[in-house]
Structure 1
């Protein structure tokens, strides 16, 4: 396989190659792949707009996040960091962004405008370095950084171990006695490097499949 940082999860072919790599590293995942069904490409716009969308979706249902994002993106200048900083806070809040999310996005915009945050550079870094740089911004936690790197940059080697659905899916698929905490799941996922993002996509799909197709509640 080519350099894993550049072999991004932006095509169906790349995902398939990473899934094959996962199975070679951990044979238990062959059954997970079979039960999960197709793992789709899930990419969104990179840069400030992409980070804004990730922040928008924090701790919300898909439907709620989509509705808020639609209102936010309709605000002129909202997805440009420089223009965003000129918008009144009440305009942002009216779209559905909480006060905390508004502060976080303002911190991101300020870092971009000041030249302290270059998304195009961060997206080329190894996972740990990229996450460290993003989480240095107040309000950006590991989950937000990892989701950005996965879905906006196609980074192939991040795994959001704090995600509840992933914790439940891995516990079920691997027959664990209890749902692993974030640190435990991160340790498990280390064995799947440099394919950890493909593993996350796989287990999210597995989580949906066993609930929807097989009728198993997690």
Structure 2
């Protein structure tokens, strides 16, 4: 009896042992996979299987448009880094065909500005828009205080569809406060070169490092962003003078993140200011055609860059860029075309939303305030203008 019971217990124990082995033993398929991944070493032992490396997925940045829009040139018209506390704004005479910005000479820091209104004889007061019956010259004098209002009224008069755009978007650039900002033209043009073919964040970082090269004790972010309102003068790193940049080796300029070509462009621009070929006074006084010719003669400055500088930095109000894709697209939408389906291939393989001839015909109606018209064309798709048709 005891022997039969012992036999049963032994059989049960054997069955339990077989079940445990079955739960932990690898399957035949897994043994085959493991064996296939192991290679025998010189002594016949199998090497431990290696975990395959994960493939890195590199995300490519979206390509920049062939011609950037104002987002890419926001550094051009930012306040100069040597900006001191602002004095009370002085109302000055304004002219849409001339420079309306306060320019600081890069070499002497002298401020170049149009004549203050209170220093002009009443007999010499002028206006950019033909006077209407019953008005006096003094009532319609074009100044930094009213040129934006005057320009907006002119745009609406030419085409009422401009009204919803103007009501929705305030153009600070040509406002009294915008025209009171001081601009260093050398800094603005350097910023234009730095911004080419890079993102806005990258351009801002490179510019900060570039300024830090010429400011001992300044960290890499010393020039990054505006000074705090409570900070006194001199808290921001100053932008280098042209003669400093011209005397700096290219290898040192490149440590700021500039390419070889951009370093050459900036050094060549500094030489132009150093020799007096470019001056703040010339940039303030030159007619538009002469201004563009002088600027495009500088390596690294194409026509688009020169036009953006004239508009955003010099605050000239009758500049218009035919080559800007953002302006083309905005104008096509403004006249009621479906820009999502519109891509007519133009000369040189470039995509165009509207022919240059048509752009000229439309924009010429808005003289002498085509800069403001262009500014609004960049924003036309954010506003419904169809209700005005």
Task: Quote how far apart the aligned CAs of 1:104 are.
Answer: 1.9
Matches within 5 A, 1:1-218: 3-6=95-98, 8=100, 13-34=146-167, 36-41=168-173, 45-76=183-214, 79-176=240-337, 178=342, 179-180=353-354, 184-207=358-381, 209=382
Higher share of residues assigned helix: 1
Query: Higher RCO, 1 or 2 (CA under 8 Å, sep at least 6)?
Result: 1
Task: Quote how far apart the aligned CAs of 1:50 are.
Answer: 1.3
* Worse-superposed segment, 122-131 or 82-91: 122-131
CA distance in 1, matches of 2:240, 2:310: 18
Q: Are 1:39 and 1:205, in contact at CA under 8 Å, matched by a contact in 2?
A: no
* Worse-superposed segment, 9-18 or 68-77: 9-18
Task: Quote how far apart the aligned CAs of 1:172 are.
Answer: 1.5
Q: Are 2:328 and 2:354, in contact at CA under 8 Å, matched by a contact in 1?
A: yes
- CA offsets per residue over residues 34-80 of structure 1, 9 Å max, x none? 4x422222667232111111221223332222222222222217631
CA distance in 2, matches of 1:181, 1:124: 32
Task: Quote how far apart the aligned CAs of 1:181 are.
Answer: 5.0
Q: Which has the larger Rg?
A: 2
CA distance in 1, matches of 2:355, 2:199: 22
* Worse-superposed segment, 172-181 or 108-117: 172-181
Q: Are 1:18 and 1:198, in contact at CA under 8 Å, matched by a contact in 2?
A: yes
Aligned pairs, number: 209
**What runs of 5+ residues in structure 1 fail to find an aligned partner?**
214-218
1:48/1:76 Cα in 2 relative to 1: closer, same or farther (>3 Å)?
same
CA distance in 2, matches of 1:164, 1:111: 30
1:180/1:96 Cα in 2 relative to 1: closer, same or farther (>3 Å)?
farther
- CA offsets per residue over residues 138-163 of structure 1, 9 Å max, x none? 22111111111112211111123322
TM-score, scaled relative to structure 1:
0.80
- Counterpart position of 2:348: none
CA distance in 2, matches of 1:14, 1:60: 34
Task: Quote how far apart the aligned CAs of 1:96 are.
Answer: 2.3
CA distance in 2, matches of 1:183, 1:120: 34
